[in-house]
Amino acid sequence: MTPAGPTLAPRYRERRTTAPAPTSAPSNPYVRLFATPGARAFTLGNLVARLPMGMFSVSAVIMIAGSYGSYALAGAVTATGLAATALVAPWTARLVDRYGQARIAVPATAAAVLGSLALLLCVHHEAPAWTLFVAYAATATTPNTGGMSRARWAHLHRGDPAALHTANAFEQAVDELCFMIGPVLAAVLCSALFPEAGTLAGAALLLGGVLIFAAQRSTEPPVAPRSTSAPGSLLRAPGMAPLLGVFLATGAVFGAMEVVTLAHVDGPLAGPVLALQAAGSCAAGLLYGRAGRRARLSTCLAAMTVLMTLPLLGASTGSLLALAGGLLVAGMATAPTMVTGMSLVQRMTPAGRLNEGMTLAVTALLGGIAAGSAGGGWAAEHAPATTYAFLVPTAAAALAFGLCAAPRVGRRAGWTRPC
């Protein structure tokens, strides 16, 4: 060995083992979130599949009312579909958890799409009214695409609460965005093309989006062995039933506010004014996802109760601009409340039944929306002025807060920690 050998070797090893200067991670949590392999692909499919959720009801009402000349029939048909979904959705979610997203979501979506097409044909040919109820009830097999997306985030970021918080905030913002854009898109399609266009486009988007989403097998949560899943109903899980009661009351806030606002504005500006609440919630959801600190559910519900008084104050002034501003600000409490509530559901649900747990929460929300719509409609019709009807969503928010803040309930359910 030459004398140069021992002196060159250490230098060679030093050059090979010296690490490059580390690059700083992106400061934006959403950039880090979508840097996860496969995240963009399944999110794209889910966005396409979720957009029709805000289209179907509006499309059905326009289509049925235009053909049969009865808004009462249209409302009854959509209410039947909502009730059927509340009954069927938890069973569909349980099958998704047991057999996998791709194996269940695709055939369940195909069945729901066939129900939408059957409704379209029945309306087009002015079939007997009972056929509309049967056809629309068949759409209840539509899988909870938002729940499946949240389950994927929970699988990808298990053990990383900060990333999961950002993901839940993003999913809630997407929900608000879809329910802000969907009704407008449906109304435009039905009026600009033909009455059945909204339903037809929604069915195509739903099926195409679910196919794209299901094809992303690398991010699909594995099916948990049955032995690791808690037996029986998830309603028996500690704290689950009270939490679903909170979701039920929160849904009543949404349903009542929608009907009362439509009744109060009563004109072409009603839709855009109401959309401001969803816009405020969407913006607040994205900001909440970037925040490092998370709030308790009781804190979010208290803020929602206070802010829900703003539309009442705005309507009492008689100014449409004041009402619009009140709805925009009131909506900013919605997304943090929903993100925190869904995070609690994830924490309280066994990993193998996550989609089922989140679907139960959505079902409670749907039941609350139906009850709130009925209560808000009754108040708008019987109150001395529609301004007083804005007390209904405020009271529903106060009820949700009261259920959460009841003595020992939050402590027993484990709600006392930020989520």
Distance from C-alpha of 399 to C-alpha of 362, rounded to nearest angstrom: 18
Same domain for 122 and 242: no
Q: How many residues does the chain have?
A: 419
Same domain for 127 and 49: yes
Q: What is the DSSP letter of 21?
A: P
Distance from C-alpha of 402 to C-alpha of 145, rounded to nearest angstrom: 31
Distance from C-alpha of 331 to C-alpha of 288, rounded to nearest angstrom: 13
Distance from C-alpha of 196 to C-alpha of 64, rounded to nearest angstrom: 9
What pLDDT sits at residue 207?
A: 93
Distance from C-alpha of 305 to C-alpha of 299, rounded to nearest angstrom: 10
Q: What is the pLDDT of residues 31-68, one digit of tens each?
A: 887 888 888 888 888 889 988 887 887 788 778 878 88
Go through 21-54 and write b for each residue having 16 or more CB atoms within 10 A of its CB, e for each that does not. Answer: eeeeeeeebbeebeebeebeebbebbbbbbbbbb
What pLDDT sits at residue 190?
A: 81
Those residues of the chain that have pLDDT short of 50 are 1-23, 227-230, 419
Same domain for 207 and 305: no
Contact call for residues 235 and 88 (beta carbons, < 8 A)? no
Q: What is the DSSP letter of 219?
A: G
Reduce the secondary structure of 126-179 to three states and give it as a string: CCCHHHHHHHHHHHHHCCCHHHHHHHHHHHHCCCCHHHHHHHHHHHHHHHHHHH
Which domain covers residue 403, as residue numbers?
Answer: 234-419
Distance from C-alpha of 86 to C-alpha of 367, rounded to nearest angstrom: 7
Could you tell me the CATH number of the domain that includes residue 365?
1.20.1250.20
Distance from C-alpha of 349 to C-alpha of 237, rounded to nearest angstrom: 8
Of the residues 195, 221, 247, the one at which a domain ends: 221
What pLDDT sits at residue 209?
A: 92
Q: Domain count for the chain, please give it.
A: 2
Distance from C-alpha of 409 to C-alpha of 400, rounded to nearest angstrom: 13
Within a domain: 265: yes
Same domain for 276 and 366: yes
Distance from C-alpha of 165 to C-alpha of 153, rounded to nearest angstrom: 10
What pLDDT sits at residue 419?
A: 47
Within a domain: 46: yes
Question: CA quadruple 280, 400, 339, 58: dihedral positive or negative?
Answer: negative
Same domain for 238 and 325: yes
CB atoms within 10 A of CB 336: 26
Contact call for residues 279 and 330 (beta carbons, < 8 A)? no
Of the residues 193, 221, 249, the one at which a domain ends: 221
Residue that the structure tokens 């913002």 belong to: 173
Of the residues 221, 254, 273, the one at which a domain ends: 221
Q: What is the pLDDT of residues 80-106, one digit of tens each?
A: 787 788 788 888 888 887 888 888 889
Distance from C-alpha of 100 to C-alpha of 198, rounded to nearest angstrom: 30
Both structure tokens of 302: 């208290």
